[in-house]
Structure 1
Amino acid sequence: MSRNEDTTKRNVLSFINGREPSIDRRFRPCPKNIFKAIDIDNIDELDDDSNSNFDDASTVSGDISKTSTIGEDGAMVYLRLRPVNSPSSSYKIAGNGNTLVVNPRLDQTTTSNNKAAMEKHFTFSAIFDNNDSQKGVYNKCIGDKIKLEESFTVLTYGTSGSGKTFTLLGDDVNPGIVPRSIENIFTLYNSNIYPHPAVKLQNARVVILDDELLAKEIISTRQVLTACGDITSVHKQLQQIICSDHNFETTVFDDVSVMIWVSFVEIYNEFVYDLLELSASNQTITVPSRKNLKIVSNDGKVFVKGLTQVYVKNSLEALKLLRFGLQRVTYASTSINSNSSRSHCIFIIDVLKYNASGLITEISYKFCDLAGSERLDKTGNVGSRLKEAQRINTSLMILGRCLDAANNLNRKKSTEVIPYRESKLTMLLQAPLLGKEKIAMVVNVTPTEKYYEENLNVLGFSSIAKNIIFKPPIVKQNNSRFSFFLEYSKAGSAQNAYIEQLLEENILLRSDNDRLINEVNNFQIRINSELLRQEKEIRNELVDSFEKTLTATKEQAENRLKQELECQKRVFESKLAKSSDGECLVI
């Protein structure tokens, strides 16, 4: 290769002019100190399709509002740094506040050719530090997504103890993403929520519930909500905090009825469990009484067969179900976190909107709290804890492979297959992984030297998620005619109240009917028991009478035989006497 050709190639592939991986779409160069760890003579070994650490570590940066499809069509990836007493100097926020600069550790020389000793830049949609509250996290991560009425999935990812669960759920004073989303959803549809579960997603299909099924769903919902316990005071406190932080608006939809269903799933050791099932054990360990559910795909839609779905009419009921399911999540103590979640949990809210024209819109919100990912030598796990950690790391590795495959499909337009079937977690997240739903990932990092290696893995994992391209949502039209929705929406308040009264009376009549049937069955059982008892008594009396009669007859027969024997004896003696007298005369 000539000197001119070598110079030309360096100009094309250098870290100043190249687009991959260190230059963003606004053509801003990387920091100068990165050249200290780069051997320019070997730069031709990198290409645009390289899968090296640079490609994974350097993502597109720039103004979020002006960048290409990341904010509108791609995954939104956020970073949240957990507040610590002694943060490491290896982590610095640069750029417009959305780039995390990770410097090499002190024991790594910057003059070597080792890629691990280089300064790395990770760009996110936004970065949250100590100054950002739960309100700010929700506004940037969720914001107006619920108002847009598009299905989306929220993932919290990071090592154990990095604040994933706090970001997603929060506490009684600082509510997280899920409680705020619940309040936002029910505020949005407040005036259009249908009073009864008339339509339901069953096996990923919308079905109409007849009177019998509707009554069963209402009774089942009441049973589950009764088992949840009363949290009215806690809900009022959270509602006041959320309403003071946000100004959620209520949208009135003409001729639209909204039905909201809630379900809660746990994936523990690659087993899928229903957290809202009444018969499930309240213990926090795997017990035989919990039933492993099956994940099924129907016409490209994934669902959990036999999963409990509860119809909710307000945010209080949804929050009850959330807390009820959290009591059954599998937790355990490790050397990193004394109360570490050992499973992946997915809280699902399905919104069904029926339009009078016949259109049914399905909107699904999934909130996934991923289990912590860390190296086994840091946790000190043994036995069952070790098995749990291995399953967790395997499922997260497969999730990373799926994101990487989706990234390669977008960049190379190849025919690579996304391996979402290799894990239960990725099977449930099939829709966002295939680009059918939008996805938002909140990466949680503890900025200390202790977790330096784990943080690099977490950051590298999240850096490839932003290239997933989403397709526009599909609005399906139901072929059946549900005219009662239109009649209900057009009817006056008096007629609506009358309809609700009839439905309540129908439920009461069904309950009375079931009670009467049970009473008749119990009465029939008592009658049968009484008949059996009387039959036994009569049988015993007959047996006793027969035995007495048999004994008397036997005695009479014995007496008669004795009398006959006496008669025969006298006859024999008489004949014997006569025979003796004749012999004497002959002599």
Structure 2
Amino acid sequence: MNRQAKGRTPRRPPPKKPPNSQKDPVGVYCRVRPLGAGDEECCIEVISTTTIQLHAPEGFKTNRNGEYKETQYSFKKVFGISVSQMELFEDVAKPLVDDLIHGKNGLLFTYGVTGSGKTFTMTGSPGQGGLLPRSLNMIFNSIGPYQANRYIFKTDDKNGMEVQSEVDALLERQRRGNNVTVPKTPSSRQKPDPEIADMIKPDEAYKADGVDADSGYSIFVSYIEIYNNYIYDLLEETQEDAIKPKWNGGGTPVRQNTEFIPPQSKILREDQNHNMYVAGCMEVEVKSAEEAFQVFWRGQKKRKVANTCLNRESSRSHSVFIIKMAQAPLDADGTDLLQDKNQVSVSQLCLVDLAGSERTGRTGAEGTRIREAGNINQSLLNLRTCIEILRENQMCGTNRMVPYRDSKVTHLFKNYFDGEGKVRMVVCVNPKADDYEETLLVMRFAEMTQEVEVARPVDRPICGFTPGRRHRNQAFKEELSRRLEERGGPVDRDVSSVMNYMVHSLPPLPSSELTDPHDDITLPRLIEALQNRHRIRQMMIEDYNKAANMMKSMLQDLDANLISKDNFIHEQNGKLAERDKIIQSNKAEMERLEKKNKMQEHKIDILQKTTKIYEDDKRSMQQELETREQRLHRELSEKRRMEQRMHGMVSDTQHKWEKECERRVNAMQLEMQNKLWVKDEKLKQLKAIVTESKTPGRPQPPPRQTQPQRPSREERLPAKRSASPSPLPTTTPVRPLHRRSRSAGGEKWVDHKPTSSLDLGTVLQPVIPNAIQVSTPSEKNLSKCDKYVLTHQEVASDGEIKTQLIKGDVLKTRGGGQAVQFTDIETLKQELTTVPSRKRKSSEGTPTGGDGTDGAWTDVETRCSVAMEMRAGSNMGPGYEHHGITKRRKP
């Protein structure tokens, strides 16, 4: 045996319903509102009684080609602008009222854009009652003669009904009559509200067929609204903290300020049959259509409405008017209702006026209105989502869960879509062109809703008593009254009227006129008549006495019965007082539990909000952590790339400096060899001069200053020099030329020389063969070449012009263009130095010319003291200078 866990209530299994394979589609009707006075363009055309066509307004494109598109939509029935409220009621609401009277549920709601006529369709206007007042009129016209007395049916606050006895109902009426304050003018209660004077017309006597006369009926109405996804009771009395008036010493009281307490929201609960209902909602028992509509109008004045750009009185909430009918069979005698709760049948009809979907940009909503519009659109979106999933489950065979609980509207009416009654929808549309986009969405939703099928409700069983009990009881009462009238006259007459009846029932007296004193006929006839009247009178007195005795005994019995009933009433009053105490204690316990429940719900909301905040913080921290990890990975990869790049740069720099050191060593060796070679040449020349000067008789011309030829490598090396003096050179030594720039390679170059460049006329000016010389480079020129050189000139610090050759490689990009990557810079600088003339001192004995200048180049010392040196830079790479030809004087 499994033991139930402590503190947990086992969930009741749903009641077993008889299988029913018959299904009916949701009935969708369309009603077109007349075009307003300020509207000119119409986008809706009624083609037939079941089809309408939408025309896209001017400037609105609906397909990819930019063309206008016309769409047709079909409904169960289309009501044009000329259709009256009566025709609409006969086709839409009358079948639902018939089902209500026969014990079946029904749901009727209006759907559409703001300002499309939903409230007018549901409520109507004076002289043009809508679906709701006409439904009330038909209900009471059908069950009027069969209504039970007030408070015979009583709600059990759990969406069920109970049947009380006549005594309990009488006590309930007395108790509530004592608590209710009677107004000073009783006629004011019967006076109809001028705003709803013509809503209900008694001449429109709609009646349902097949009403069960052997049952008692009672109607209960409730009115709620769903505002910002909260449920409020519109029939609940406004709670005010009213303080008693204080007297200021005069004749008028001074009333203090009263504090208004806003109404509390209601919650949805599930009854034992798994049907949803609003807990704590006030249900008012009504006995006429006028009384029911007065209750509705009292709640209608509390409904949330606001003025927007689209509608002067726009509904800001979904209103639900619930008509609940309780039905119980009569007993076998046909006098009282059965007090068996299982025999009570409860059916309801929900009339829903949905708030219109709207765009905040068109309505100009701000602040609270934006929040209201957002909640309205969200609830309508949840309704569309539930319809879509229902349609998908039915057409595709899926088993997706329908999200009824996402909205209070869908959660309240989920039983109707699960097969608890018929569902009807009236789609109200406004044909003006400004509402075309919203109307298009409404049409698509209506088209999808028609494809949803709802299970047909099953007929409820009737009790096993023989029919016609009420008629037999009425006939028995009429026959009893007739017999009483036959025996003793009218039962409602008083004693004087009875006596007059008895006097007039005596036989009449004959004529007693005597004309002859010897008349022997008249007197005996009169005596006989009087004796006959006396006899009849005695008989009537005896009958009267018998009736009086019988009446007296009946009165005594009645007194005894009344005494017993008084005792019974006192007992019942005592029991009622005890029950009232129990009820009060139960109410106090319920209030305590409700407060505790609300507190727990408040704590749950706080915990949910806290959990949501923590989850948001966790999500944001995870995102931040992921962002930092990504940034760290990027930094690490960048660091590795920088390390590889620095290693490459270090290796390149090391290789470059190794080459530079090697080049400098070679240059230094070459320079030293050149110096040694020059000294050797000078010594050879000196030796030749000395040997020639020793030859007598031949004048020697002064030697020419020539540029000696650079010796070969074997000649420059001192180790390989011969010991014997070398003979005099017969030709002028010429130094071999070398390439001055790497621009003279075999590649194709773009020689970019600006127009502002100066031609220095020196051999150091580079000349690149097969080069395209341009003043401004273009993409076409770069696409034909592999190399690029830019000639740049500037003035150096010593006033000389310095030329820079900026070189680079032409690369192709991914986009098909060209890019230049600069790789080398060569600097060309020209320096000119003059050799001043030097006079020989007269003390040295050097001959001078007659003009005071130096003598001819015949002196050996003079000829050896001046030399010429040429230095040319080699191709040493970027950053190094090429120096020009300079003259310098040896020290």
What TM-score, normalized by structure 1, do the two folds share? 0.64
The one-letter amino acid of 1:92's match is E
Which of 199, 204, 207 is residue 159 of structure 2 equivalent to? 204
Residues 196-242 of structure 1, C-alpha deviation per residue, up to 9 Å, x if partnerless?
Answer: 232344312333446668755786699899799545376774443x6
Shift of residue 417, structure 1, vs aligned partner:
1.7
Which of 304, 312, 325 is residue 299 of structure 2 equivalent to? 325
Task: Give the match for residue 406 of structure 1.
Answer: 390
Matched, 1:367 2:326: no
Task: Give the match for residue 352 of structure 1.
Answer: 326
Task: Give the match for residue 435 of structure 1.
Answer: 419
Summarize the Cα distance change of 1:305–1:443 in structure 2 as closer, same or farther, 3 Å threshold.
Answer: same
Matched, 1:118 2:56: no
User: Equivalences for 1:497-516 in 2 at 5 Å?
Assistant: none
Whether the 8 Å CA contact 1:263–1:309 is kept in 2: the answer is yes
Task: Give the match for residue 453 of structure 1.
Answer: 437
Summarize the Cα distance change of 1:225–1:314 in structure 2 as closer, same or farther, 3 Å threshold.
Answer: farther
Shift of residue 348, structure 1, vs aligned partner:
0.5
Whether the 8 Å CA contact 1:225–1:321 is kept in 2: the answer is no
Find the residue that maps to 1:435 and give its secondary structure.
helix
Matched, 1:276 2:235: yes
The one-letter amino acid of 1:124's match is F
Matched, 1:151 2:111: no
The one-letter amino acid of 1:156's match is T
Shift of residue 91, structure 1, vs aligned partner:
1.6
The one-letter amino acid of 2:56's match is P
The one-letter amino acid of 1:194's match is A
Task: Give the match for residue 49 of structure 1.
Answer: none
Whether the 8 Å CA contact 1:256–1:489 is kept in 2: the answer is no
Partner Cα distance (1:75, 1:223) in 2: 46
Shift of residue 269, structure 1, vs aligned partner:
1.1
Partner Cα distance (2:307, 2:110) in 1: 20
Find the residue that maps to 1:156 and give its secondary structure.
strand
Find the residue that maps to 1:433 and give its secondary structure.
helix
User: Equivalences for 1:11-22 in 2 at 5 Å?
Assistant: none
Find the residue that maps to 1:415 and give its secondary structure.
coil
The one-letter amino acid of 1:196's match is R
Find the residue that maps to 1:324 and give its secondary structure.
helix
Shift of residue 404, structure 1, vs aligned partner:
1.4
Partner Cα distance (1:178, 1:222) in 2: 33
Find the residue that maps to 1:451 and give its secondary structure.
helix
Residues 86-129 of structure 1, C-alpha deviation per residue, up to 9 Å, x if partnerless?
Answer: 453432122x3211111233324577357x95322211111112
Segments of 5+ residues of structure 2 without an aligned counterpart are 1-20, 241-259, 332-341, 481-557, 559-564, 581-891
User: Equivalences for 1:232-243 in 2 at 5 Å?
Assistant: 232=192, 237-240=198-201, 243=203
Whether the 8 Å CA contact 1:360–1:477 is kept in 2: the answer is no
Matched, 1:297 2:249: no
Task: Give the match for residue 30 of structure 1.
Answer: none
Which of 30, 34, 47 is residue 79 of structure 1 equivalent to? 30
The one-letter amino acid of 1:193's match is Q
Task: Give the match for residue 583 of structure 1.
Answer: none
Find the residue that maps to 2:450 and give its secondary structure.
helix
Q: Which stretch shows the higher mean deviation, 192-201 or 314-323?
A: 192-201
Task: Give the match for residue 466 of structure 1.
Answer: 450
Matched, 1:139 2:90: yes
Whether the 8 Å CA contact 1:260–1:349 is kept in 2: the answer is yes
Which of 320, 342, 361 is residue 316 of structure 2 equivalent to? 342
Partner Cα distance (2:148, 2:354) in 1: 33
Whether the 8 Å CA contact 1:266–1:344 is kept in 2: the answer is yes
Whether the 8 Å CA contact 1:231–1:320 is kept in 2: the answer is no
Shift of residue 248, structure 1, vs aligned partner:
3.0
Partner Cα distance (1:92, 1:436) in 2: 36
Summarize the Cα distance change of 1:130–1:269 in structure 2 as closer, same or farther, 3 Å threshold.
Answer: same
Cα-Cα RMSD: 4.0
Summarize the Cα distance change of 1:489–1:119 in structure 2 as closer, same or farther, 3 Å threshold.
Answer: farther
Whether the 8 Å CA contact 1:152–1:364 is kept in 2: the answer is yes
Partner Cα distance (1:334, 1:109) in 2: 28
Task: Give the match for residue 394 of structure 1.
Answer: 378
Summarize the Cα distance change of 1:113–1:167 in structure 2 as closer, same or farther, 3 Å threshold.
Answer: same
Summarize the Cα distance change of 1:412–1:250 in structure 2 as closer, same or farther, 3 Å threshold.
Answer: closer
Task: Give the match for residue 769 of structure 2.
Answer: none
Segments of 5+ residues of structure 1 without an aligned counterpart are 1-68, 282-286, 518-587
Greater Cα radius of gyration, structure 1 or 2: 2
Summarize the Cα distance change of 1:113–1:425 in structure 2 as closer, same or farther, 3 Å threshold.
Answer: same
Identity within the alignment, %? 25
| Equivalenced residues, count | 428
Summarize the Cα distance change of 1:394–1:374 in structure 2 as closer, same or farther, 3 Å threshold.
Answer: same
Summarize the Cα distance change of 1:488–1:402 in structure 2 as closer, same or farther, 3 Å threshold.
Answer: farther
Find the residue that maps to 1:146 and give its secondary structure.
helix
Partner Cα distance (1:506, 1:408) in 2: 62
Task: Give the match for residue 60 of structure 1.
Answer: none
Partner Cα distance (2:173, 2:382) in 1: 37
Find the residue that maps to 1:144 and give its secondary structure.
helix
Task: Give the match for residue 533 of structure 1.
Answer: none
The one-letter amino acid of 2:269's match is V
User: Equivalences for 1:18-37 in 2 at 5 Å?
Assistant: none
Whether the 8 Å CA contact 2:154–2:164 is kept in 1: the answer is yes
Partner Cα distance (1:457, 1:387) in 2: 22
Which of 254, 274, 277 is residue 213 of structure 2 equivalent to? 254
